[in-house]
Structure 1
Amino acid sequence: MIPAFDLLHRKIQEAIWNQETKWERLRPLQEDSIRAVLQRDNDIVLAAATASGKTEAAFLPILSRLAEEPDRSGVGAVYVGPLKALINDQFRRLEDLCKYAEIPVHKWHGDVSATQKKKFRENPGGVLLITPESLESNFINYGAHLERIYSRLEFVVIDELHSFLEGVRGTHLKSLLARLRLAAGADPRMLGLSATLGDWTVAQQFLDEALPASVEVISPESDRNELKVGLRSYLKAEEEGEEREDPEFIRLVSDLAKDFRKGSNLIFTNSRGLAETLADQLQQISHQEKWARNPFRIHHGSISKEIREEVEGELKLGEGHGLPVTAFCTATLEMGIDIGAAKAVGQIGPTWSVNSLVQRVGRSGRREGESSILRGYAIDENPAPEGNIEDRFYPNLLRFCALIELMIEGWLEPLDEDDWHLSTLIHQMFSILRQTGGLRPDRLFFQLCEKGAFRSVESGVFQNVLRALGSVELIEQMADGNLILAPKGERIVESKDFYAAFQAVEEYSVRCGEDEIGKLPVDSIPPVGQHLLLGGRRWQVIDIDGELKSVFVQPSRGYTKPVFMGTSGFIHDAVIGKMREILSTKEPLVYLDAEAMNRIESARAEFHRYHLDRSELVPFPGGVRWFPWAGTKTMLTIVTEASLREIKVECGLLHLTFSGMKDEERFRGFLNELVVGASDPLELAAHLPAKHFHKYDECLDTETLDRANARRILDLGGTARVARSALGKWRK
């Protein structure tokens, strides 16, 4: 077999030899990718942990192919990344490789100057790094030039593919790539760079809808590191008060200082507010204890780009330069931005999904031979004798354990294919009508549904969406049959936030003098004279300028709890099921410290005390508690079913409380109705407490919106399953 290195173009070989950090050898992933790209012609998924060389695995063979045509006009390869910071990072890495082969490399996103963009449009070529939103701007503003720029396109590389596989941005990107093929007349090979997934089917479908089985998955076992895990438990104070005065919170801060004061580390939180609070407390401790240097920093989306890049630079320098750094962060560092080798990852509170936990853990153990290290910290309510029954199961600790167990087993959440993504469909309708100036309905359906990203949307649903848009005067039909944007639709497309298919939140810039500290959501701005935490520092608001959308602050010693809201998400049935499995067994969880293990044992005792090993129903005077051990969708469906029947119910993470349900036969009848699926899905969706989840949902007519929500929000099959289980375990 010819060595993979020998398959590369001579100039790319020279580029490898001339790298500042000498390559001792190609990694298995890179060798396999070089052979797959240069010796075969199918689409490819490259799957491995962060910093395993995925970018080079994709681009070494791609650049070799482009180097064979040095006089090529037009873009040869497009790299799509989810973050501007990630694109900037990859641009620096590719620029070094490309200069030896004399292949131009360009980037296009909101921070790139108009001059650079114009230069690229006038002389396109080589490699283009771009975000989905900037690719959208190409269609809106330069639709007539797409064929000239992209007709020679051979490769599309999608970084962080797993982050695009579901949700608005993924559907948006899939639609843009399908439209690019049609507009440019190109059929590029697709390469997806991804973290390891449990099921590759949807990733393969994303890259090749027609022949998903033809997509090759390259995921060498040898690139996977040993995993080391530790998990601690903390309880909130029984009395309401300042979080920073809570003894358990003080213990958490002390443990973080001990665990992360050395080395380069990342600590993920589920809210920006908690990240700010912890960074502030460690800043105070560093002053009180007179540390020579405070190694704790903060990094999240509300902090200015300059501060984030400064933190990234410190992390990248790392301990090798005698500068240990630990950054409190949110999802901003979950992606593959190059921040060097993190020694360990901390996670405060359980993530909403196994996928997210795996991605975060993958930020550590990046050096060859190193282990990935996860240090978890679960914070629960202190269970009171007459308090919430769920508190006795320490649900955050228990859910964290379930996520870890599933991660160790290699299970990851499957992807939801039931969503029509009608809001994103409307966005793409507007975009195409702006790009083309007008199009017949059948051609619009052909581009978006028959050949595009919305193949599950039937013709009848598509026509209903068009009628809804026409009824609110967003589009109109001309005498020749073409659809065009109406004046109201034109104003939407011309708005500054149109390029993103997701809903943008209005933010104000926070400034100290001429320096921007970061941004705050408009509903999170304190009044003048009040204090805020941002960037790990304390500030006092001195002025708010509505016209400039700016908050002016000055340094302060005053403290106030941050006002950022935490993230939320849907929890899969398998996570809740694993929680029940942990409670029902006697197996020790070796990654728990003694206190956490004692609390799990206490939760197990409560599980058996309530006979939840044999039943799912816990009667109480005047009602019943039902533990269906189901995820968010099923729980929401049960609540909506009860609301439809005017049955009073309160929903927790693990159980539902039916008050006033004294008649057992009535509750049995309710369960039987759930089993047989007596409710009309549309009628059920009409009773959802909230209906508008995405940017253009409000443009839809009521019936179409209810049909869409019945598919994406409700789970009638799961509801029937858990109701059948409850009836089967009924305690008479």
Structure 2
Amino acid sequence: MSSESLNPRLRHFLANRLGWRSLREVQKSAIEAIGRGEDTLIVAPTASGKTEAAMIPVFNSILTEGLPPVSLLYVSPLKALINDMHSRLEYWGNHFNLEVMKWHGDVPPDTKRRFIRNPADILLITPESLEVIMVNRSRDERERIFRNLRYIIVDEIHYFIESDRGVQLNSLLARLERYTAVRPQRIGLSATVGNPEDVLEWMSPSGVVVKESSDRRLQYRIFSGGEAGVIDVLRRLTGRKVLIFVPSRREAERYYNIIRRCLDVDVFIHHSSLNRESREEAEEKFKSISAAFMVSTSTLELGIDVGDIDVVVHLRSPTTVNQFLQRTGRSGRRSGNQRTIIFHEGEVLLALSVVSLALSGKLEMLRIPRRPLDIYFHQILSSVFEIEKPGPAEIYRGLGRAHVFSDINQGDFRHLLEFMGESDFIRKHGTYLYHGFNFEKVFGKMNFLEFYSVFYPTYEFTVKHGTKTIGTLDAFFAVTYLEEGRGFVLGGENWIVREIDHEKFIVKVKPCSRKASIPDWSGGGAPVSFEVARHAYDILLGKFNRDLLKWLDDASRERVLSEMARASAAGLTRDVIPVSVGSDVEIHTFGGERVNGLISDIFRMEHDAYRVRDDAFAARFSAKVDYDDVVSTLNEIPSIISEEDFPLRLHDRLDRMVKNKFIEHLPEDVAAHIKYSLLYRPDELMGLLEASRPVEVEGFRIQVFHGSKK
């Protein structure tokens, strides 16, 4: 099917109601692929028209074939995206007399009951609400909803790939095929990713990738941070529409008030602690104004429509290329130029590394979870609800159709089912399975409302001083670095940990005047990726495009050149790992926090290392070792981490990681391996040790953060 063969009513709508003169190339390619009936992954930058690329052929099929409801299931990770897309699709639906229904936790029960009796043409839903339908509705109701389903669109599919929610969704997509007359055609919408073929495989056993590179030129500037410098640059951007990303809710509030006080501009704020009405009001006002500032945390990274952005500002460097492109791609729809500014507080090498990789098209690879037995545990329990008198074989076959469970064999299933029986989550009556007493105890009554969701509301820890919320910390840092009495920096202030509640994800703190024990990390966001950290080392060695330095301010450029000179003086090369042993041990892997955290924990076990202060560039700790001890231990790491019980040796540390509400009910060895794969990157460490050798370098020290707030 070509764009010229579209239904006349649809062509008229696109030309006259939307005012389109032509289709973009990604839309033409998607129309052809979807029209052939192929499962299709559409990979394109933010604001490239990929949503319409999926909707045009789907609406064409609905109109031309007269498809009965529900013909399209649209799945999105966020209620805010559901609400935004519902408004957009209602505009299409009203024109063609098609009903569009959204279903999530904020939709009134009466509206949902009316939908069950009389389904709409298009259903927009979150994975958790889809789970609710699978568990709470009868087989007849599920068939009434899904039997006519022809298309499934998964929006922001890259957001799902690595997460528990993605495992749940992948399983649900397989499970709902019990109730469809034909296998629905799957369509995924993704921002640019490093391994689109793997994402397609997650979505479908066969299909095609429709990919479009951005035709918008990336223009960037990198400035050293500081409140005064930030305001000075923002003052020059007044009269434009600017989206400002900050690392925490506390920083969002702080800069929102600073901008209001210092600049004569319309400014809005957006973060997860604000209620839904406030966020939606800010979105609508910002969208409708041609010149304004919006200060946001990651809540506006995904595709909520806030209009045409002129400039995207990052207050602190993004930690991954994917995140940088996702944010920056929100700019330049009108001008064709993506314009972005990064303010750093010492992490200039990271900022330059991110930009350099982005311009060369080198993105991080998304990791599909292997053997996610914690979510498998949940889906077994959910399937017992769903299927009338289920037998073990039926559940195993049903879940086995999901790609995310393809590495789980029948022996794994039997072992887990036996454990679930021993712990009384599952009981067997003849050949059938049903829930045991412990299921009712753990997930019954009010707790049952939480059963549908496989994740805690956030993997971030909330930092509190008394009743005041200071900000948030990524779970990786809270679990691997923090303990009572440990100091850290957040929001430019020093704090000491009083107590950590790993179940409620809360870190209680008090102000700290001491700076000596403050670790090098002071961000709060996600860990720096392996790719970004390694390319920062390339920059130190001069292996990058020097023309990139033109767009750094003088202080930032001087910092990079100074660090390069130090690396050159130390005689560093790509195949070495600089090691410094003095009062502290510093192993400069440039491998990211998940690699360095694993090294430090190995030295904790082997040499009683203490006072760990890792960052993205180095494993840093204190220990009674000399250089030969360090080299010997590094050489032994491949054999140490290849031992089957190695994750169990890390049990004390891993046991603090509350990944989700189901993992604690798994066998201890299974839970340890799952947490280990989440917190660390043993494959990246093994590759690094194989390609590089430790070299002693006295006095060499490159830190991620050099700001005065240390």
Instruction: Pick the TM interval, shorter chain.
Output: 0.7 to 0.9
Q: Tell me how far 1:714 sits from its aligned partner.
A: 4.1
Q: What is the CA-CA distance between 1:376 and the residue it aligns to?
A: 0.6
Distance 2:186 2:535 in 1: 36
Q: 2:635 aligns with which of 646, 649, 672?
A: 672
- Secondary structure of the residue aligned to 1:128 is strand
Say if 2:269 is the partner of 1:298: yes
Aligned to 2:287: 316
Paired position in structure 1 for 2:176: 180
* Distance change in 2, residues 1:99/1:268 (3 Å): same
Aligned to 1:454: 405
Match of 1:606 in 2: 566
* Distance 1:468-1:569 versus aligned 2 partners, 3 A rule: farther
Alignment partners' CA distance in 2, 1:177 and 1:166: 16
Distance (whole Å) between structure 2 residues aligned to residue 333 and residue 477 of structure 1: 47
Q: How does 1:610-625 map to 2 (within 5 A)?
A: 610-613=570-573, 615-621=576-582, 624-625=585-586
1:110 aligns with 2:110: no
1:497 paired residue number: 450
**SS of alignment partner, residue 531 of structure 2:** helix
Q: Which residue identity lines up with residue 690 of structure 1 in the other structure?
A: L
The alpha-carbon distance between structure 1 residues 155 and 669, as it changes in their structure 2 partners (threshold 3 A), is: same
Residues 641 and 684 of structure 1 are in contact (CA less than 8 Å); yes or no, is this contact kept in structure 2?
Answer: no
Q: Which has the larger displacement, 426-435 or 497-506?
A: 497-506
Asked if 1:636 is matched to 2:597, the reply is: yes
Counterpart position of 1:718: 684
Q: Which amino acid aligns with 1:200?
A: P
Question: Unaligned regions of 5+ residues in structure 1, if any?
Answer: 235-247, 381-395, 507-519, 535-564
Q: Cα distance 1:665–1:61, how it changes in 2: closer, same or farther (>3 A)? A: closer
What is the aligned partner in structure 2 of residue 48 from structure 1? 44
Query: Identity across aligned pairs (percent)?
Result: 27
Q: Which residue, 535, 548, 553 being the options, matches 1:578?
A: 535
Alpha-carbon distance change, 531 to 680 in structure 1, aligned in 2, over 3 angstroms: closer
In 2: Cα distance, 1:8 partner to 1:181 partner:
29
In structure 1, the residue matched to 2:23 is 26
Counterparts in 2 of 1:593 and 1:523: CA distance versus 1, 3 Å: closer
**Matching residue's letter, 1:598:** E
Name the counterpart of 1:687: 650
CA change 1:442–1:452 in 2 (3 A) is farther
Kindly tell me: are residues 639 and 478 of structure 1, through their superposed partners in 2, closer, same or farther at Cα, counting changes over 3 Å? farther
Aligned to 2:296: 329
Distance 1:463 1:571, change over 3 A: farther
Kindly provide the amino acid, as one letter, of the partner of residue 595 in structure 1: A
Q: Which runs of 5+ in 2 are unaligned?
A: 473-521, 699-710
- Which residue number corresponds to residue 351 of structure 1? 318
**1:566: Cα distance to partner?**
6.7
Per-residue deviation, residues 247-273 of structure 1 (Å, max 9, x unmatched): x333333333x1442221211112111
CA distance in 1, matches of 2:593, 2:16: 53
Q: Distance in 2 between matches of 1:632 and 1:399?
A: 13
The C-alpha deviation readout for 1:590-633, integer Å capped at 9, x for no partner, is: 22111110111222233334444485334444564221221333
Matches within 5 A, 1:454-533: 454-486=405-437, 487-488=440-441, 490-491=443-444, 495-504=448-457, 524=464, 527=467
Instruction: Give the Cα–Cα distance (whole angstroms) in 2 for the partners of residues 119 and 225 of structure 1.
Output: 45
Q: 2:343 aligns with which of 362, 377, 381?
A: 377
Number of residue pairs aligned between Structure 1 and Structure 2: 637
**Residue 90 of structure 1: how far off its partner (Å):** 1.7
The AA in structure 1 aligned to 2:282 is V
Match of 2:218 among 227, 238, 242: 227
Computed over aligned residues only, the root mean square deviation of the Cα atoms, in angstroms, reads 2.9
Q: Separation in 2 of the partners of 1:657 and 1:55?
A: 46
Deviations, residues 471-505 of structure 1 (Å, cap 9, x unaligned):
44333222434243532255178533332211136
AA of the residue aligned to 2:215:
R
| Letter in structure 2 aligned against 1:217 | V
Whether the 8 Å CA contact 2:247–2:524 is kept in 1: the answer is: yes
In structure 2, the CA distance between the partners of 1:125 and 1:603, relative to structure 1 (3 Å rule), is same
Distance 1:109 1:652 in 2: 41
- Secondary structure of residue in 2 paired with 1:191: strand
- The aligned residue for residue 121 of structure 2 is 126
How far is the alpha carbon of 1:526 from its aligned partner?
5.2
Distance 2:238 2:635 in 1: 57
Cα pair distance change 1:186/1:44, threshold 3 Å: same
Superposition TM-score, scaled by structure 2 size = 0.83
Counterpart AA for 1:326: F
Indicate yes or no: 2:553 matched with 1:593.
Answer: yes
> Where do 1:24-423 residues align within 5 Å?
24-38=21-35, 40-70=36-66, 72-144=67-139, 145-208=141-204, 210-211=205-206, 215-221=207-213, 224-234=215-225, 248-256=226-234, 258-286=235-263, 291=264, 294-319=265-290, 324-367=291-334, 369-380=335-346, 396-423=347-374
- Does residue 14 of the first structure (1) align with residue 12 of the second (2)? yes
Q: TM-score normalised to the size of structure 1?
A: 0.81
Partner of 1:638, secondary structure, is helix
C-alpha distance after superposition, 1:321-379 (max 9, x if no partner): xxx21111112111111111001101111223211111001100112x42011111001
Distance 1:417 1:478 in 2: 36
